[in-house]
Amino acid sequence: MTETTLFLTDLQLAQSAMKDRQAEEVLLRRLYPRIVQMVKFAGGNHSQVDDIVQVAAMQVVKSLKWYKGLGSLESWAGRISYRTTMKALKRKRKLGGIEMPVFDHDIVSSDTPEKSTSRRQLFDALLEKLNIIPQKRRVPLLMHIAYGYTIREISETLDVSPNTIKDRMKTAFREFQSILDDNPNLIATMLEDL
């Protein structure tokens, strides 16, 4: 990162990235983790997540001329990445009728093979149970719990009012609590693994 791009505001960085390749690289280095996070979160599977991330990154760069600086670049890129992922999922469903899972298999990592296997099994069991919650409620809940998004950021990303997000999260949390109540072994395994 150069000294000139280090102290730019989000809007200045976006404007510079439209004209300067080096500023574009700085912008993408900064936003890439958010893009990957949103694509994996919204529904990438192992075989397509890299493709969707690349398309989302290109969409972010192509859309820079519409960035007004009203929110953070990360939130703005997250919205674009979410919409790009949803379009890709819709196309995939139309073509093959297969719904992609919520998370990528590469999210869980570990220190030892035994812990990795244990975490993988826990993750798979939890994912299977979470898929019971409808997507429109599951996505805001996981964005908040797993990734620390605020209600406002979730609202902007999903293009849904904050009150609707709160209602969906409240219902999803009750559903999630019910899932945990019905599966005490998941809680025990999670606590052991921590």
Whether domain 1-107 has CATH 1.10.1740.10: yes
Q: Rounded to 10 degrees, what is the CA torsion of 63, 68, 73, 76?
A: -60
- The tens digit of pLDDT for each residue in 60-69 reads 999 999 888 8
Average pLDDT over residues 101-114: 42
- The tens digit of pLDDT for each residue in 74-101 reads 888 888 888 888 888 777 666 654 444 4
d(CA 138, CA 44): 15
Whether domain 108-194 has CATH 1.10.10.10: yes
Q: Which residues contact 33 (CB under 8 A, 6 or more apart)?
A: none
Going from N- to C-terminal start, the domains of the chain cover 1-107, 108-194
Closest CA to 37 of 64, 24, 56, 23: 56
| Range in 4-18, 99-113, 165-179 the model is least confident about | 99-113
